[in-house]
Chain A
């Protein structure tokens, strides 16, 4: 009896092939007939792939399992119990969803406070303003009155203080993130089947059996494509940062006049200091935990913007900067920024340096962090929505809270 781990996918494939089959019958079109055949083959192939295989040795499997991290047992979510739902979302770092204006009225004051604290602890605020995406000196037009093409306006936003870790990403995997097709870009639905780990289980490329190696909880998750990063960001109620947002959080521009501003080359200043970041020759030649190299923190309190892992951004590579506009790309690429533990040259690990990669690439040195627009976060509104319900239910406790 085959074990169907992802029935939703098969349903989707079956539905698609069924529709195509119906089209072929009623529409009498050879195209739809072919599509139906492909869809049915797909279902058959997926079913075959999910058949239980004989393992070479149980002892080996046990030893391998011991080397993998165990997930922290989180309280199960009861969808009919609002408190359970909120607590579960907070435990899974999905506080950004709770702080949406549309949802915040459902929170009790304590829950709202918890979500706000989680936001402030895990994300750093970057104020609104302008930022230049070009490296200092590259966009000097010589004419003070002409605005530079590389300058962008950025609204106030929050950026994750740390890159997303293995532990955080495991919550997404365990919650069935790879089966919730609503959080994936529709054009990549067929590719989601290929987003599997080394053992064929949905997850980052270098994991096994849907788990990362033991002891790597706080390492940034790598081996994820741009689409996986974007899906995770949606799942936690955030998004990937834009080019300008990422650069602004790192270079922290200071306006010197109406036309000119000064911005840093690195989060700590204008001079490379290899003690502050994990680059080639300055670290252990591998990915380190997201809390290390704390001396390289940005003015706003964002860690490891430079070094350790490249970070996916939402932008297209080559779209923003004149230096990369005459490039002929073998495939459309997404922008990555910040350099990684194996980045060799200092000039390729600055806040302004942009590189790119295939959005389907799942490389050993590309991770991501998430952003959240300030406009998407509800401000405290005491006495609104569920607060009143809360007062009615437990008046004594509510009075204490207001006091």
Chain B
């Protein structure tokens, strides 16, 4: 049985509904109680936190091809920085910001890699965190989304397919571009081509000679380097030898760039699953994860 009742019409609530809240990423107006932006599907919590806490978070992007290791990198980075606050200390703002590190760490501890990030932006994990650096009084407010590689590829090939990517990358103060070392080592040029496309897209987003992407810091992160020890010795040399197109393009288009090598799994194997062979980590020993991020945020 349904009971009918009368709800009081509070004038202050009506007033809130009347005021539109702009999305922090794309700037489109949304209603007060919208959970996701109606245009780009970014969480509106980012806008609310910025308004109520009177902060202006900076944005940083971790982008790369599908299966380059973006989710593992970001999730592990957050977990490490929240557990061991020696050089950098990260404090998540909002429960939604912990989802990424929770899902990544839980999967790795079980001996699995986290599931692929869905292509739908409303299912991406977003992180809003406060970052404290040794020697700096003011903390840095950061927003980092974990974007799907397929979505990035689609956006690069067909601009404005995903309304969130263009405004987000335009506003980022820097980016980490993740490249799969194992694929580079195997001789596959897909990584090289895709990253070159991404660099072209970035460079053309904002060509302002003073504030454009040519001046912004870009860290090239060679992931899965635990399976290629020589990559740790000289990441730049490795990239030059294995991805010459990418290396040349970043020399010419990005003045502030650096190459890094990172590894999360100490060794990998495969398991037979219905969907095919599934790559699994044999153990987790993060190596070099903090350095690229530290290099980037010190220039924020």
A and B associate in one complex = yes
Give A residues with C-beta under 8 Å from B.
280-281, 326-330, 333, 339-340, 342-345, 347-348, 355-357, 363, 365
Q: What residues of chain B lie closer than 8 Å to A342, measured between beta carbons?
A: 266, 285-287
| B 235-273 contacts with A by CB, 8 A | 266-272
Does B109 sit within 8 A of A, measured CB to CB? yes
Give B residues with C-beta under 8 Å from A.
76, 83-84, 108-109, 229, 266-272, 277, 280, 282-287
| Contact for B269 among A330, A340, A344, CB less than 8 A | A330
Question: Can you sample 13 A-B contacts with CB below 8 Å?
Answer: A326-B271, A328-B272, A328-B277, A343-B283, A344-B108, A344-B284, A344-B286, A347-B109, A355-B266, A355-B267, A356-B269, A356-B282, A365-B266
Q: What residues of chain A lie closer than 8 Å to B271, measured between beta carbons?
A: 326-328
Q: What residues of chain B lie closer than 8 Å to A326, measured between beta carbons?
A: 271-272
Q: Kindly provide the distance from the CB of A298 to the nearest chain B CB, expressed in whole angstroms.
A: 21
Q: What residues of chain B lie closer than 8 Å to A355, measured between beta carbons?
A: 266-267, 282-283
| Contact for A343 among B229, B277, B280, B285, CB less than 8 A | B285
> Sorted from nearest, which 3 A-B pairs have the closest CB atoms?
A328-B270, A342-B285, A355-B283
Q: Kindly provide the distance from the CB of A324 to the nearest chain B CB, expressed in whole angstroms.
A: 8
| Complex Cα–Cα for A348 and B280 (A) | 14
| Complex Cα–Cα for A327 and B270 (A) | 6
Assess the B284–A343 pair: CB atoms within 8 A.
yes
Residue of chain A at shortest CB distance from B267: A357
Q: What residues of chain A lie closer than 8 Å to B277, measured between beta carbons?
A: 328
Assess the B285–A329 pair: CB atoms within 8 A.
no
| Complex Cα–Cα for A369 and B166 (A) | 55
Q: What residues of chain B lie closer than 8 Å to A330, measured between beta carbons?
A: 268-270
Q: Kindly provide the distance from the CB of A390 to the nearest chain B CB, expressed in whole angstroms.
A: 53
Residue of chain A at shortest CB distance from B110: A347
Known: A281-B84, A345-B108. A340 touches B270 (CB 8 A): no
Residue of chain A at shortest CB distance from B273: A326
Given contacts A328-B271, A355-B283, 17 further A-B contacts (CB under 8 A): A280-B285, A280-B286, A327-B271, A340-B285, A342-B286, A342-B287, A344-B76, A344-B285, A344-B286, A345-B284, A347-B109, A348-B109, A348-B283, A355-B266, A357-B266, A357-B267, A365-B285
Q: What residues of chain A lie closer than 8 Å to B109, measured between beta carbons?
A: 345, 347-348
| Complex Cα–Cα for A383 and B277 (A) | 65
Assess the A327–B280 pair: CB atoms within 8 A.
yes
| Complex Cα–Cα for A333 and B269 (A) | 10
Q: Kindly provide the distance from the CB of A378 to the nearest chain B CB, expressed in whole angstroms.
A: 40
| Complex Cα–Cα for A344 and B285 (A) | 6
Q: Which of A343, A344, A347, A357 has the most CB of B within 10 A?
A: A344
Q: What residues of chain B lie closer than 8 Å to A327, measured between beta carbons?
A: 269-271, 280
Q: Which of A328, A343, A363 has the most CB of B within 10 A?
A: A328
| Complex Cα–Cα for A326 and B287 (A) | 28
Assess the B83–A281 pair: CB atoms within 8 A.
yes
Q: What residues of chain B lie closer than 8 Å to A365, measured between beta carbons?
A: 266, 285
| Complex Cα–Cα for A329 and B84 (A) | 33
Q: Kindly provide the distance from the CB of B180 to the nearest chain A CB, expressed in whole angstroms.
A: 16
Q: Kindly provide the distance from the CB of B13 to the nearest chain A CB, expressed in whole angstroms.
A: 47
| Complex Cα–Cα for A281 and B83 (A) | 8
Q: Kindly provide the distance from the CB of A51 to the nearest chain B CB, expressed in whole angstroms.
A: 25
Q: What residues of chain A lie closer than 8 Å to B267, measured between beta carbons?
A: 333, 355-357
Q: Kindly provide the distance from the CB of A195 to the nearest chain B CB, expressed in whole angstroms.
A: 15
Q: What residues of chain A lie closer than 8 Å to B266, measured between beta carbons?
A: 342, 355, 357, 363, 365
Q: What residues of chain B lie closer than 8 Å to A340, measured between beta carbons?
A: 285
| Complex Cα–Cα for A333 and B277 (A) | 18
Residue of chain A at shortest CB distance from B284: A344
Q: What residues of chain B lie closer than 8 Å to A329, measured between beta carbons?
A: 269-270
Q: What residues of chain A lie closer than 8 Å to B76, measured between beta carbons?
A: 344
Q: Kindly provide the distance from the CB of A331 to the nearest chain B CB, expressed in whole angstroms.
A: 10
Q: Kindly provide the distance from the CB of A337 to the nearest chain B CB, expressed in whole angstroms.
A: 11
| Complex Cα–Cα for A355 and B280 (A) | 12
Q: Kindly provide the distance from the CB of A350 to the nearest chain B CB, expressed in whole angstroms.
A: 12
Q: What residues of chain B lie closer than 8 Å to A333, measured between beta carbons?
A: 267, 269
| Complex Cα–Cα for A343 and B280 (A) | 16
| Complex Cα–Cα for A197 and B188 (A) | 30
Q: Kindly provide the distance from the CB of B104 to the nearest chain A CB, expressed in whole angstroms.
A: 11
Residue of chain A at shortest CB distance from B83: A281
Q: What residues of chain A lie closer than 8 Å to B282, measured between beta carbons?
A: 355-357
Residue of chain B at shortest CB distance from A330: B269
| Complex Cα–Cα for A329 and B270 (A) | 6
| Complex Cα–Cα for A395 and B189 (A) | 81
Q: What residues of chain B lie closer than 8 Å to A356, measured between beta carbons?
A: 267, 269, 282
Q: What residues of chain A lie closer than 8 Å to B287, measured between beta carbons?
A: 342
| Complex Cα–Cα for A352 and B280 (A) | 19
| Complex Cα–Cα for A281 and B76 (A) | 14
Q: Which of B83, B109, B269, B287 has the most CB of A within 10 A?
A: B269
| Complex Cα–Cα for A348 and B264 (A) | 14
| Complex Cα–Cα for A363 and B266 (A) | 10
| Complex Cα–Cα for A344 and B108 (A) | 10
Residue of chain A at shortest CB distance from B229: A363
Known: A281-B84, A345-B108, A347-B109. A328 touches B269 (CB 8 A): yes
Residue of chain A at shortest CB distance from B76: A344
| Complex Cα–Cα for A340 and B283 (A) | 10
| Complex Cα–Cα for A347 and B267 (A) | 16
Q: What residues of chain B lie closer than 8 Å to A343, measured between beta carbons?
A: 283-285
Q: Kindly provide the distance from the CB of A346 to the nearest chain B CB, expressed in whole angstroms.
A: 9
Residue of chain A at shortest CB distance from B286: A344
| Complex Cα–Cα for A342 and B286 (A) | 7
Q: What residues of chain B lie closer than 8 Å to A357, measured between beta carbons?
A: 266-267, 282
Q: What residues of chain B lie closer than 8 Å to A345, measured between beta carbons?
A: 108-109, 284
Residue of chain B at shortest CB distance from A366: B266
Q: Kindly provide the distance from the CB of B89 to the nearest chain A CB, expressed in whole angstroms.
A: 14
| Complex Cα–Cα for A365 and B266 (A) | 10
